[in-house]
A and B are shown apart, each in its own frame.
Chain A
């Protein structure tokens, strides 16, 4: 999968000719991409089409539904022997970082049918990014509560800071997607969208709970006060960041990657700061995550060399470790996809190591994979204010970086993980799209005030009647069998 990086492929590299393919070839594995996609949705569509037309590549990244269908149809190769024989200990260790919790999903009757990455969600906590220069100009203190955040947004907007600020806080049109501002705000208000919560020994759907209703009511209130971008319904993440960088808004609810966008503003001499999200009460903010089995990488039963795939994992691990600078560049890393295996919770680990380095001045004895690259870049900014070379890394891993919020969440019970960790069921696939559509419509119309908060109750009834009750029954059956 080639995300936005397809547009910044390094000079001299192409889809046919790049460091990863050359490296694989050097070790006798001739790799060609059957197809490339620009985002996850596109990839899912293309794999679905490949399955429907029985035109699968040998190595296939699949989601849980595709995995289940392929497995049932005997279209997956048994890679047990190849894995046992070829996989290096380093690769095995990386894949079992969560104690084999996720890998279990790829093992049937003791035989292995795919590579599943260990579960990791530590990074996915909401992080606030705001204009530090405006904060000072307005004479405010850095936020310490939910009210402070909204007050800051209000002050920025009412004073038309920078002569341009007209938006309080921006949202995006996909209000229910993970890492969007809306979900960050829900979580800060102790509401969760689209995950399963354990309540009194049974599983309940988070989107029909009273906390969700309350959170929507509060957001509707902020919207009515003009503190939420009235145009959010047509904006994607890119458009939201354009507003921030062009000075139209000064408070962004984001995540640990925020500096990747903020840097464009910093180049325009804006000053930004990061902080964790604060709750309305004393309860910790819990970032939601569905630690469900989301898929893995499998080998087609028609393919001849499952060991080649395992050896690619070995090479991947070896060269991202030994030649970090060449092979771990984001744009280059894309060329190895779907072969990828990272260190679980590497970022918070690197954050701690880097901050230890700053305070003590010496490198920790044992560092996490990737530490050296981070250190090199971040120091460029810390010591020489080299924005291009190190702002992003320093703003993520530095003492006041976005990973500070992640570290805080790890230490302070900051996660709400879905209680359902099984694979997507047939009924979830069947009803899912429609249930999500009615939830999206409900959330947007309540926030914008097009519908009164009472319409939440209609939504709950609709949700239950249109497959929700079936799903509830299904996950509870799964839960009671555990």
Chain B
């Protein structure tokens, strides 16, 4: 390009050297903690013995994967994971958006702030604590929920012990815990909508509901879309902490997910190869989902990471 001084190699590198150095620790950490452990994936193709190490263990090819597929529970576990994770994804998207829209309609700033604080709180409680609390609240004989059902004349339900209810309990309690936190980003997006648009809509005769449809929703649609596609990467992440603290053998049928499955056969029985095979399988699916979602976000949501 004429008129513009061409940057010479050494001086540019010199100028950027501090920046590169600042980047170095981050890269090193990612390399050590995210890339090096990938070498462990080789375990999935071995009969791994910790005492023999990665190099000394016998190579068995795809035997671990075959064994996994032969277990009668594997299909159900994958299905459970997909159903639970998908329900959480869908509701985890709708509920915070609706909540943010409703909250945005409220005039009193003080009320809005206190509601926000209250609904954020559960996000900071661990599932170990919540597991115990829900065990009590949902108990058929002593729990408050069933007392209320009784009072209005409905039959009591064994929420944590019934395969019909267990997934819903997982999904709803998870949504309850996270929707407040999840709504932060939408509330932020809502404040960035130009208020003159509402005035224009009002002059054109739109009522409140119509304004939400034609101004608010389009205004935050791109961020909703981006959040939706990004969460696709979690398609096989049904929430280990939560399930481990709330499930029991009687609801394995609908509640056992890949992570708890890995935990039981892997850590407790020291079957590292088998659990690595499950983990590998899970990662491949997640990778595909993330790739697709990134492509979609790039294409339609105008979202770029790189």
State whether these chains interact.
yes
Considering the complex of A and B, which 3 residue pairs feature the smallest CB-CB distances, nearest first? A73-B51, A233-B250, A440-B249
Closest partner residue, chain B, to A462 (CB atom): B72
CB of B252 within 8 A of CB of A440, answer yes
Q: Which residues of A contact B271 (CB under 8 A)?
A: 429-430, 433
Complex CA distance for A433 and B249, rounded to whole angstroms: 12
CB of B269 within 8 A of CB of A441, answer no
Within 8 A of A (CB), among B167-190: none
Closest partner residue, chain A, to B161 (CB atom): A233
CB of A438 within 8 A of CB of B73, answer yes
Q: Which residues of B contact A (CB under 8 A)?
A: 49-52, 67, 70-73, 135, 139-141, 158, 160-161, 163, 248-253, 256, 264-265, 267-272, 274
Least CB distance, A38 to chain B, in whole angstroms = 13
Q: Which residues of B contact A432 (CB under 8 A)?
A: 269
Known contacts A48-B50, A174-B249; is A434 also within 8 Å of B270 by CB? no
B140 touches which one: A45, A69, A230 (CB < 8 A)?
A230
CB of B72 within 8 A of CB of A234, answer no
CB of A430 within 8 A of CB of B274, answer yes
Q: Which residues of A contact B270 (CB under 8 A)?
A: 44, 48, 65-66, 429
CB of B252 within 8 A of CB of A73, answer no
Complex CA distance for A429 and B271, rounded to whole angstroms: 7
Q: Which residues of B contact A72 (CB under 8 A)?
A: 49, 51-52
B51, B73, B140, B256 pick with most chain A CB within 10 angstroms: B51
Does A11 interact with chain B (Cβ within 8 Å)? Answer: no
Does A244 interact with chain B (Cβ within 8 Å)? Answer: no
Does A29 interact with chain B (Cβ within 8 Å)? Answer: no
Q: Summarize B's interface: helix, strand, loop or mixed.
A: loop
Does A365 interact with chain B (Cβ within 8 Å)? Answer: no
Q: Which residues of A contact B70 (CB under 8 A)?
A: 466
Q: Mark A43-73, 1 if CB is under 8 A from B, else 0.
A: 0110010011000000000000110011011
Least CB distance, B47 to chain A, in whole angstroms = 8
Least CB distance, B232 to chain A, in whole angstroms = 30
Does A231 interact with chain B (Cβ within 8 Å)? Answer: yes
A437 touches which one: B67, B73, B139 (CB < 8 A)?
B73
Q: Which residues of A contact B267 (CB under 8 A)?
A: 45, 48
Q: Which residues of A contact B248 (CB under 8 A)?
A: 173, 233-234
Does A448 interact with chain B (Cβ within 8 Å)? Answer: yes
Closest partner residue, chain A, to B264 (CB atom): A433
Q: Summarize A's interface: helix, strand, loop or mixed.
A: helix
Closest partner residue, chain A, to B265 (CB atom): A433
Complex CA distance for A125 and B95, rounded to whole angstroms: 53
B50, B161, B256, B272 pick with most chain A CB within 10 angstroms: B50
B50 touches which one: A51, A433, A438 (CB < 8 A)?
A51
Q: Mark A64-100, 1 if CB is under 8 A from B, else 0.
A: 0110011011010000000000000000000000000
Complex CA distance for A382 and B268, rounded to whole angstroms: 44
Complex CA distance for A433 and B270, rounded to whole angstroms: 10
Least CB distance, A238 to chain B, in whole angstroms = 11
CB of B49 within 8 A of CB of A441, answer no
Q: Which residues of A contact B251 (CB under 8 A)?
A: 233
Q: Which residues of A contact B73 (CB under 8 A)?
A: 434, 437-438
B73, B161, B269 pick with most chain A CB within 10 angstroms: B269
Complex CA distance for A248 and B248, rounded to whole angstroms: 22
B265 touches which one: A45, A175, A434, A448 (CB < 8 A)?
A434
Q: Which residues of B contact A444 (CB under 8 A)?
A: 249-250
CB of A69 within 8 A of CB of B50, answer yes
CB of B51 within 8 A of CB of A69, answer yes
Q: Which residues of B contact A231 (CB under 8 A)?
A: 139-141, 158, 161
CB of B51 within 8 A of CB of A75, answer yes
Q: Which residues of A contact B249 (CB under 8 A)?
A: 173-175, 233, 437, 440-441, 444
Q: Which residues of B contact A41 (CB under 8 A)?
A: 268
A-B contact pairs, 29 of them (CB 8 A): A44-B268, A45-B268, A48-B50, A48-B270, A52-B50, A52-B272, A66-B270, A69-B51, A70-B51, A73-B52, A166-B141, A174-B249, A230-B140, A231-B139, A233-B161, A233-B250, A234-B161, A234-B248, A248-B141, A430-B274, A433-B264, A434-B265, A437-B249, A437-B256, A441-B252, A448-B250, A462-B72, A466-B70, A466-B71
